[in-house]
Amino acid sequence: MQTVHTIEWMKQIAHEARAEERILGLVPTMGALHEGHFSLIRAAQREGAPVVVSLFVNPKQFGPAEDLNKYPRTLEADRAALEALGVDYLFAPSPQEMYPSGFRTAVVVEGLSDRLEGRSRPGHFRGVTTVVLKLFEIVQPRFAYFGRKDAQQARLIRQMSTDLNLDTNVVVCPIVREADGLALSSRNVYLKGEDRRSAAALSRSLAAVREEIAKGERDANRLLAALRRVLALEPRVALDYAEIVDNERLEPITNLRGTSYVLLAAKVGDTRLIDNALIEPDGEHFKVSV
């Protein structure tokens, strides 16, 4: 595996790959890698293309009161894991490399950016889409892989890719969970003791929605009530939002129809977590993937 720190070198690699008609797959990450990231890498490898993993803790997607400074940084362990997985390139630029002084441009996906996570974390998605567009421009990947845990992020990036006629196909991969259902996240390292135990309630609340749907419930308010009943049993869990939204505009729906998501965010102790379930029509019924 080659570790690349400069944009110029990464662009050179991308240029040579294109000249030789080799397509690249990109897995963008902020490091502190876990099995969720590894599943994206394996999906990229199945495509048969050389895989670039970017590792950049993007300051522009953290609000002033958020955890940029304490965000887990485990570069050496990450590098070893990527080597073991047979990744071809690790692109790990510095903040100065990505945002030299005088940097002024931002990418905003209007409308989709200010709801849900965007309402709780103003400016977050502007930072995400700005860095992802830069990564796409630098690496020129044919495919880029994102986890469904960040469903709103994936929806925005897909929209950006469509709107800006990018050549990168956005691939969204399933959520990877711990044995008790907790969705894998680099931030899970913050969860200690009781918080870690309580955090499993998030996926249980989504499973409760799935059970209600299996029993025939289609009313979004009643489905969300079932979710809240589960979370209410956990005093360490403070719900930020829970909504059932359509797949296109991420607007709340009143009754299940088409493809939709149950999206939720909650604080468990001091740690903010997000999770979701995907609801897809399946003949007369709905298939719910937690």
Q: Please identify which of the residues 5, 15, 34, 37 carries the catalytic annotation.
A: 37
CA distances from 273 to 149, 181, 208 (A): 10, 13, 18
Q: Which is nearer to ligand PAF, 155 or 236 (CB)?
A: 155
Q: How far is the CB of 61 from ligand PAF (least distance, A)?
A: 6
**Comparing C-alpha atoms, which of 115, 76, 266, 254 is closest to residue 183?**
266
Q: Closest separation between CB of residue 194 and ligand PAF, Å? A: 27
What's the rounded Cα separation, in Å, for the pair 229 and 139? Answer: 45
Task: Give min distance, CB of 154 to ligand PAF, in A.
Answer: 9
Q: Which is nearer to ligand PAF, 72 or 252 (CB)?
A: 72
Residue with smaller CB distance to ligand PAF, 54 or 198: 54
Q: Is 37 a catalytic residue?
A: yes
Q: How far is the CB of 1 from ligand PAF (least distance, A)?
A: 19
What minimum distance in Å lies between the beta carbon of 150 and ligand PAF? 5
Residue among 131 and 200 whose Cβ is closer to ligand PAF: 131
Residue 87 or 223 having the CB closest to ligand PAF = 87
By the criterion CB under 6 A, which residues form the site for ligand PAF? Answer: 28-30, 58, 61, 128, 131-132, 150, 153
Tokens of 39: 């599943």
What does the angle CA 123 – CA 276 – CA 159 come to, to the nearest 5 degrees? 50
CB of 30 to ligand PAF, least distance (A): 4
When the beta carbons of 107 and 209 are compared against ligand PAF, the nearer one is 107
CA distances from 179 to 33, 110, 183, 195, 227 (A): 18, 37, 10, 16, 20
| Residue 232: both structure tokens together | 């209410």
Catalytic residues: 37
